[in-house]
Amino acid sequence: MEQSLPLLNPLPLKRRRLSPLQAARLQVVQAQTLEREIVFLVKILTCIDVRHSFFRVSAKKKTSH
């Protein structure tokens, strides 16, 4: 029963003998969650960058006049 559900444990450190298919599935799941986190962080950073560049441009316009 425990071996048929390897994905309930996110990091099976105690069980080193995973079949290649189970290890591949685990890597895919971890990669997908990591990708979601990276996309989320990139969205936040791009929002911050857009705001900062907008403020810089508006400040340059004000100082140039």
Alpha helices in the chain (DSSP H): 20-64
Q: Report the pLDDT averaged over residues 31-48.
A: 91
Q: What is the pTM of this model?
A: 0.43
Q: Report the pLDDT averaged over residues 9-14.
A: 56
Q: What percent of the chain has pLDDT over 90?
A: 31
Q: Report the pLDDT averaged over residues 5-16.
A: 55
DSSP class of residue 4 equals: T
Mean pLDDT of the chain: 76
pLDDT band at 10 (very low <50, low <70, confident <90, very high): low
Contacts of 26 (CB under 8 A, 6+ apart): 6, 7, 12, 18
